[in-house]
């Protein structure tokens, strides 16, 4: 029980108004929930949450975090529920416990660095509250401290995870002592032999080392002061794991790792930094190639400092960093990142630097938290959507993919492999089939279902968020239209050539010539251009077969003169069709039966051999099919001179008397019905088609309007005369 008292007194120490009874109740609840459970060490299980809560007070966190530390294993390992915790200890505590529980369930497998980084970001994104991560880190630290009770294979797995995920996370958050302890513990279980050897070596010289650090600190201080450089000096021995890394990196034994000690000199001005450097180099011999001026040339994250290494007192190599206190602030917290965050700017490219700034901001948050008198102030800033613009999901193999927020399974499929994206026909998320528009959520495990017949369609472009997916889909869609253009272009050219008894295969040389003339690099491109409608088959024909082109020209001339004769002939006619052809009145004109144009309709004419000009409505399907070469401009010339037959379809109820009503309506509008077809349908309605003569579109519209007004009439439509 004395550990609880210790927690309570520490909490009260940095947070006088803390709700201590709540913490006490949380402890009692945890003790009861875990009753009967023991740790591998044989201790009652509750000793673990107690230790975790204790570490949490060392980080000076708030009451909710301490309670969450006490309760963090309840939901996972006992019958307690999140709802229950919410009722007893409030939403906040329940939320933190729920968060820690969820993080514990993420499947972890050892991965390369990029994967580990994504996994760390996934943890932060899922936590949604930095306290969840901090409680998790404290949990992990206590687990690492008691790792020796576990079987070796578990030790190895947990140590690897700690090294890859949690130590870097603590480092990113700037909690140096947690990082160092996690690293050294993980090192101990990952490489027991190397660890024991190095620990013994360091222990032998430990007292000596501390004495040495103290001695050098004093010495630097004195030299600087004598030369007019006011400063503060801090020496630090590297921890075991960082010495080990250095040994591995330089391929040297411990005895040769001399600069295992670093000194930081903090002064007031930039000028004093350079003066301080001069003092250091005058006093001790600098090691060539080790001097770096990050003041004149700051790092991309705005880090500024002077770095050097010298042969220090007693011939030991030491590292010296010299900077102003302002620069030190940036180095520790990333001040720029803080400003950036406050301004709310978020430049998405250059992800690495951006992430670095976010972490720097977190570090500063942790730093300032230490100085707060009331840890609840900390809450103002902890609930941040830190990596809210990204979502982290697993592949079935346990890899983590980072995607923009709002991404769908198609984005994921393309992130895995283009060919998976191209054939993505469905997806399973956490084992359940989901639609392709499903928005991925942090921690989802995605399995893509592919089908060889599946291909991207236009709708996919509305779903995807990643540039990669978009680019690939667009490319394939373009490829598809291109394929269609090839088919269409081949068809058009083949038909044109066939009229002159040749083919694409036989006219290859001529087509190559035509391609060059029409500024296409290859015949294939020429075919595509024809398919897209940018070049006509006629143009190709003229360039490919110039002799024929001449003949065509002659034929054209002949047609023209024929038309002129025709025009001359018809001008003499007196019949008034109400149509001007190519600006001429009174030409032999026929109205197409298929669309029965009325004065007022947009129209187009076609020269018909021996029958003058046939007039179609501009939107008539048949007219569109006719040879554009025979097309001729026509226009209406005065209204109402002639009557035009149209067909009108009336859909109405099959009721006695209604037909009489309808025909009366025609008469009222002064329109004669020439034919009527009436047919009853099975569902009690009647379809009536009337052929009537009207003078123009306005009159037709009037008829349609008055028919529509009759009770029992469902619809009135102008239809093609062929329909009846």
Name the burial class of residue 35, with classes exposed (0-12), middle (13-18) and buried (19+) by CB atoms within 10 angstroms of its CB: exposed
State the DSSP string of 662-714: HHHHHHHTT-EEEEEEEEE-TTSEEEEEEEEEESSHHHHHHHHHHHHTSTTEE
Q: Which of residues 114-153 bind Mn ion (CB under 5 A)?
A: 139
Q: Which of residues 646-685 bind Mn ion (CB under 5 A)?
A: none
Identify which of residues 9 and 41 has a Cβ nearer to Mn ion in the complex.
41
Q: Which residues contact 40 (CB under 8 A, 6 or more apart)?
A: 146, 149, 150
State the DSSP string of 29-64: HHHHHTTT-B-TTSSBTTHHHHHHHHHHHHTT--HH
Identify which of residues 6 and 146 has a Cβ nearer to Mn ion in the complex.
146
Calpha distance 41→36 (Å, rounded): 14
Helix (H), strand (E) at residue 262: strand 261-267
Which string of x and - marks every residue 555-594 that binds Mn ion (by CB under 5 A)?
Answer: ----------------------------------------
**Of residues 77, 553, 560, 633, which has the active-site annotation?**
77
Calpha distance 533→531 (Å, rounded): 5
Q: Is 361 helix (H, G, I), strand (E, B) or coil?
A: helix
Cβ of residue 109: shortest distance to Mn ion, in angstroms?
20
Identify which of residues 95 and 460 has a Cβ nearer to Mn ion in the complex.
95
Cβ of residue 53: shortest distance to Mn ion, in angstroms?
11
Report which of 260, 297, 261, 294 is spatially closest to residue 277, judged by C-alpha positions.
294
**Of residues 5, 58, 76, 256, which has the active-site annotation?**
76
What are the helix and strand counts (H, E) for the chain?
30, 22
Cβ of residue 183: shortest distance to Mn ion, in angstroms?
20
From residue 338, give the alpha-carbon distance in Å to each of 202, 356, 361, 365, 458: 39, 11, 5, 9, 42
Identify which of residues 139 and 161 has a Cβ nearer to Mn ion in the complex.
139
Calpha distance 723→675 (Å, rounded): 13
Calpha distance 519→65 (Å, rounded): 73
State the DSSP string of 1-22: -HHHHHHHHHHHHH-TT--HHH
Cβ of residue 48: shortest distance to Mn ion, in angstroms?
6
Identify which of residues 73 and 696 has a Cβ nearer to Mn ion in the complex.
73
**161 is a contact residue toward Mn ion (CB under 5 A):** no
Identify which of residues 29 and 606 has a Cβ nearer to Mn ion in the complex.
29
Cβ pair 635, 703 in contact under 8 A: no
Q: Is 396 helix (H, G, I), strand (E, B) or coil?
A: coil
Cβ of residue 149: shortest distance to Mn ion, in angstroms?
14
Calpha distance 425→53 (Å, rounded): 49
Task: State which residue has the least CB distance to Mn ion.
Answer: 139
Identify which of residues 139 and 444 has a Cβ nearer to Mn ion in the complex.
139
Cβ of residue 150: shortest distance to Mn ion, in angstroms?
13
Cβ pair 395, 416 in contact under 8 A: yes
Helix (H), strand (E) at residue 469: helix 467-498
Cβ of residue 268: shortest distance to Mn ion, in angstroms?
46
Helix (H), strand (E) at residue 135: helix 130-145
Identify which of residues 139 and 184 has a Cβ nearer to Mn ion in the complex.
139
Residue 153: active-site member: no
Q: Which of residues 59-98 bind Mn ion (CB under 5 A)?
A: 73
Q: What is the largest CA-CA distance in the chain?
A: 126
Calpha distance 55→364 (Å, rounded): 20
Identify which of residues 53 and 523 has a Cβ nearer to Mn ion in the complex.
53
Cβ of residue 286: shortest distance to Mn ion, in angstroms?
49
Identify which of residues 72 and 423 has a Cβ nearer to Mn ion in the complex.
72
Cβ pair 198, 191 in contact under 8 A: no
Calpha distance 606→624 (Å, rounded): 10
Cβ of residue 55: shortest distance to Mn ion, in angstroms?
11
Residue 444: active-site member: no
Cβ pair 453, 133 in contact under 8 A: no
Q: How many residues bind Mn ion (CB under 5 A)?
A: 2
**How many C-beta atoms lie closer than 10 Å to residue 625's C-beta?**
7
Report which of 91, 69, 66 is spatially closest to residue 12, judged by C-alpha positions.
66
Cβ of residue 422: shortest distance to Mn ion, in angstroms?
45
Residues that bind Mn ion (CB under 5 A): 73, 139
Which are the catalytic amino acids? 76-77
């Amino acid at each position: 029980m004395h550990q609880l008292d210790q927690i309570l007194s520490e909490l009260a120490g940095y947070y006088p108004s803390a709700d201590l009874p709540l913490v006490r109740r949380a402890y009692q609840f945890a003790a009861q929930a875990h009753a009967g459970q023991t740790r591998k060490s044989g201790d009652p299980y509750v000793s673990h949450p107690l230790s975790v809560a204790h570490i949490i007070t060392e980080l000076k966190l708030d009451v909710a975090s301490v309670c969450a530390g006490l309760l963090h294993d309840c939901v996972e390992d006992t019958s307690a529920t999140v709802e229950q915790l919410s009722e007893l200890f409030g939403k906040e505590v329940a939320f933190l416990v729920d968060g820690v529980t969820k993080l514990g369930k993420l499947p972890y497998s050892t991965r390369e660095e990029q994967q580990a980084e994504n996994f760390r970001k996934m943890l932060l994104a899922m936590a949604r509250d930095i306290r969840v991560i901090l409680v998790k880190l404290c949990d992990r630290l206590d687990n690492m401290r008691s790792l020796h009770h576990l079987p070796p294979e578990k030790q190895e797995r947990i140590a690897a995870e700690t090294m890859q995920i949690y130590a870097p996370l603590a480092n990113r958050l700037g909690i140096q002592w947690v990082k160092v302890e996690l690293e050294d513990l993980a090192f101990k279980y990952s490489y027991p032999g190397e660890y024991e050897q190095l620990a013994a070596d360091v222990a032998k010289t430990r007292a000596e080392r501390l004495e040495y650090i103290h001695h050098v600190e004093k010495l630097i201080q004195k030299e600087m002061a004598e030369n007019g450089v006011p400063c503060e000096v801090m020496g630090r021995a590297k921890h075991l794991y960082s010495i080990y890394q250095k040994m591995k990196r330089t391929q040297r034994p411990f005895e040769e790792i001399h600069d295992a000690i670093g000194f930081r000199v903090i002064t007031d001005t930039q000028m004093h930094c350079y003066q301080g450097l001069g003092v250091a180099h005058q006093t001790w011999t600098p090691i060539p190639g080790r001097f770096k001026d990050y003041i004149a040339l700051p790092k991309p994250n705005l880090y500024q400092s002077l770095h050097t290494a010298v042969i220090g007192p007693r011939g030991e190599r030491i590292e010296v960093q010299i900077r102003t206190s302002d620069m030190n602030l940036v180095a520790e917290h990333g001040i720029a990142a803080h400003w950036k965050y406050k301004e709310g700017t978020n430049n998405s490219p250059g992800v690495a630097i951006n992430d670095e700034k976010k972490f720097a901001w977190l570090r500063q948050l942790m730093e300032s938290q230490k100085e707060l008198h009331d840890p609840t102030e900390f809450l103002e800033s902890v609930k941040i959507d830190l990596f809210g613009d990204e979502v982290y999901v697993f592949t079935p193999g346990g890899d983590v993919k980072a995607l923009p927020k709002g991404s769908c399974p198609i984005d994921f499929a393309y992130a895995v492999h283009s060919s998976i994206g191209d054939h993505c026909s469905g997806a399973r998320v956490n084992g359940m089939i989901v639609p392709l528009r499903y928005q991925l959520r942090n921690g989802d495990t995605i399995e893509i279902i592919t089908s060889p017949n599946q291909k991207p369609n236009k709708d996919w472009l509305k779903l995807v968020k990643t540039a990669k997916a978009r680019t690939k889909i667009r490319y394939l869609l373009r490829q598809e239209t291109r394929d269609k253009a090839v088919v269409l272009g081949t068809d058009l050219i083949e038909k044109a050539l066939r009229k002159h008894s040749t083919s694409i295969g036989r006219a290859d040389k001529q087509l190559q010539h035509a391609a060059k003339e029409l500024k296409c690099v290859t015949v294939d491109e020429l075919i595509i251009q024809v398919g897209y409608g940018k070049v006509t088959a006629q143009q190709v024909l003229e360039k490919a077969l110039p002799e024929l082109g001449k003949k065509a020209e002659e034929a054209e001339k002949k047609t023209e003169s024929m038309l002129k004769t025709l025009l001359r002939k018809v001008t003499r006619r007196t019949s008034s069709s109400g149509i001007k052809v190519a600006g001429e009145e009174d030409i032999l004109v026929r109205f197409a039966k298929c669309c029965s144009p009325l004065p007022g309709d947009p129209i187009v004419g076609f020269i018909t051999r021996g029958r003058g000009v046939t007039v179609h409505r501009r939107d008539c399907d048949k007219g569109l099919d006719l040879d554009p070469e025979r097309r001729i401009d026509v226009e209406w010339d005065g209204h109402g001179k002639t009557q035009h037959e149209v067909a009108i379809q009336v859909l109405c109820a099959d009721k006695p008397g209604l037909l009489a009503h309808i025909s009366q309506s025609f008469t009222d509008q002064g329109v004669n019905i020439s034919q009527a077809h009436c047919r009853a349908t099975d569902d009690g309605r009647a379809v009536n088609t009337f052929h009537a003569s009207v003078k123009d579109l306005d009159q037709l519209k009037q008829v349609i309007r008055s028919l529509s007004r009759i009770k029992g009439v469902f619809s009135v439509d102008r239809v093609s005369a062929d329909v009846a």
